[in-house]
Structure 1
Amino acid sequence: MHLHEELLDGEPVRWFEHGDGAPVVLVHGIPTSPRLWRHVMPLVRGRSLALEMVGYGSSIPDGEGHDLGLAAQADRLLRWLDMVGVEAPVLVGHDLGGGVAQIAAVRAPGRFSGLVLTNAVSYDSWPIPSVKAMQRGAPVLRYLPETVLYPSFVQLIHRGHDDRARALESIGVHWQHYVAHGAARSLMRQVSALRVEDTIAISDQLPSLGLPARVVWGDADQFQKIEYGRRLAADLGTTLQPIPGGKHFTPEDHPEVVAAAVNELLKATDAAPGRERSDEE
């Protein structure tokens, strides 16, 4: 994966790229970064672009003084697509990134060729209880030392993984950004920006979206329950693909399943009338 950085409206925006061919845009959630997709991108048969949301990962410092809510992130995503000149990508989202993907697709359905959601926030499924507790305590919690916050971070990651080795890897990959930029302040800034109204506001438009879609869900997820995955699949006119025993961080534990869903849409859109094939199958 290659890291790219450019200025969007005078401010830095970062993303990872891998491969070539038909474009795929991937959006991460919390408490992760674009590296959430590190095992998915090599399996995708196209040009993968994993966007780093402002206020997350190495862009944590850039979130200071900015709206980090999902609706604002969706607006940045659309402006970034204009900047990089990516046309008709398959849009993929996990966790908060799934909410961002839904909002962006509703706002500009003609900009995308398909939508893949995996264990995504939606409707009123979020914030989860632990995040609500952090929101309430943010004025105090933002001053906690890293040594106090780290065990909670580790527990959260383990609860969201069914593959222990990948959980341990994930902790090292994602915690480093919080350590580098002030863990408590960074995390509290992120959670304080979360508003369930962002997904509720567009939920009634999902059934009329009209985009080819796939919904892939770890059926043992304690954070985003599979009932919400079923509802999303029904509204998007597709069939839910459960991952038996899978938990929340599906792109890390089950990258082959997520990539297969993306590749299905790439193949379908490449074969659509009026579009040339962009990779060899």
Structure 2
Amino acid sequence: MDKRYADVNGTRLAYIDRGQGTPVILLHGFCGSSAYYDEVAPLLEGRCRLIIPDLRGHGASDAPEGTYTMEAIADDIAALIDRLNIGRPVVLGHSLGGYVTLALAEKHEDKLLAFGLLHSTAFPDDEKGKEGRLKAMETIREQGLPVFIEGLIPKLFAPAHLETMPEAVRKAKEIGLGTSPEGAVRTLEGMRQRPDRNAVLSAAQVPVLLVAGTGDQIIPPQRTFSVNKEAFQRSQIDGAGHMSMMEAPGELAQAVLAFTAKL
């Protein structure tokens, strides 16, 4: 897919812009890129205008200095929305992208038509999680990004899919290797610092989509479905791990289209 570029907040962001209809911004997870959505995009672009950026430090985007707080990345996306002059889009974030989406909803809800979390959570890291982020930073610094990616990617898929979807696993590793090592470390520090945003979810004045996978070993469904409001659409994908965009693209696309159809 052809990438375009925009300078936002002093950072050059790469993004894909394709399809027609309701503008939907898809944000990828940690050590991912817009390529995470390669299987889903063709299923959505007939009814949505898809804007899929590479977050700072990831894919073909710049990796500026400093900690990548969720607020800083959210400001990148807010600036991109203004830059593209698309009105109020739907923003859906996978994992890290969901943490960014919540920061965006907290600071700029007036810019959003709706938002959603895909295999993500409003909870912050607990102490064990924070410890894990530090270990990951250490691994990248001391042993290199490839060693870290080799350990990370298999955990993102439902165990059964490691056997049945070797191509998808290989592709996810390849995408991960396109991450800037410094960008990965700066993002880990930002994720480690993020606050609890369940209050943001509870206070949402726009429709919200929550998607979880029954086989997700990273963020189990109960951590995604932490707030229950009538206006929320909850979709649980049977058998999917943390990567429904690769493990069950048809079901993820169905959930997104059912959500956007109501807006």
CA-CA distance at 1:108 after TM superposition: 2.2
Aligned to 1:31: 31
- C-alpha separation in 1, matches of 2:135 and 2:245: 30
Query: Residue 6 of structure 1: SS of its match in structure 2?
Result: strand
- C-alpha separation in 1, matches of 2:136 and 2:157: 26
- C-alpha separation in 2, matches of 1:140 and 1:115: 33
1:257–1:131 CA distance, 2 compared to 1 (3 A): farther
Native 8 Å contact 2:22 2:260 kept in 1? yes
Name which of 179, 185, 200 aligns with 1:188: 185
- C-alpha separation in 2, matches of 1:174 and 1:122: 24
TM-score (norm 2): 0.86
CA offsets per residue over residues 156-211 of structure 1, 9 Å max, x none?
21221133231122212332x14xx5x4x44323312323433x1x4213222121
Aligned to 2:89: 89
Kindly report the root-mean-square deviation, in angstroms, between the aligned alpha carbons of the 2 structures: 2.4
Question: Counterparts of 1:222-233 in structure 2 under 5 Å?
Answer: 222-232=217-227
Native 8 Å contact 2:34 2:54 kept in 1? yes
Q: Gapped runs of 5+ residues in structure 2?
A: none
1:141–1:113 CA distance, 2 compared to 1 (3 A): closer
- C-alpha separation in 1, matches of 2:63 and 2:230: 32
CA offsets per residue over residues 31-82 of structure 1, 9 Å max, x none?
21111111111111211001211111222xx323133111111112111111
TM-score (norm 1): 0.81
CA-CA distance at 1:10 after TM superposition: 4.2
Native 8 Å contact 1:211 1:236 kept in 2? no
Name which of 139, 151, 172 aligns with 1:170: 172
Query: Residue 57 of structure 1: SS of its match in structure 2?
Result: coil
Q: Gapped runs of 5+ residues in structure 1?
A: 270-281
Aligned to 2:156: 160
1:129–1:248 CA distance, 2 compared to 1 (3 A): farther
The higher radius of gyration belongs to: 1
- C-alpha separation in 2, matches of 1:94 and 1:236: 22
- C-alpha separation in 1, matches of 2:30 and 2:139: 20
Aligned to 2:206: 211
1:123–1:131 CA distance, 2 compared to 1 (3 A): closer
Moved more, 212-221 or 158-167: 158-167
Native 8 Å contact 1:13 1:54 kept in 2? yes
- C-alpha separation in 1, matches of 2:11 and 2:90: 25
CA-CA distance at 1:4 after TM superposition: 0.6
Q: Is 1:267 matched up with 2:261? A: yes
Query: Residue 242 of structure 1: SS of its match in structure 2?
Result: strand
Native 8 Å contact 1:206 1:235 kept in 2? no
Identical counterparts, % of pairs: 20
1:70–1:220 CA distance, 2 compared to 1 (3 A): same
1:196–1:130 CA distance, 2 compared to 1 (3 A): closer
Query: Residue 247 of structure 1: SS of its match in structure 2?
Result: coil
Aligned to 1:279: none
Q: Is 1:143 matched up with 2:142? A: yes
Aligned to 1:2: 2
1:186–1:108 CA distance, 2 compared to 1 (3 A): closer
CA offsets per residue over residues 4-43 of structure 1, 9 Å max, x none?
1022244312111221222100111112111111111111
Aligned to 2:80: 80
**Structure 2: which amino acid aligns with 1:242?**
Q
CA-CA distance at 1:98 after TM superposition: 0.6
- C-alpha separation in 1, matches of 2:95 and 2:29: 5
- C-alpha separation in 2, matches of 1:134 and 1:258: 28
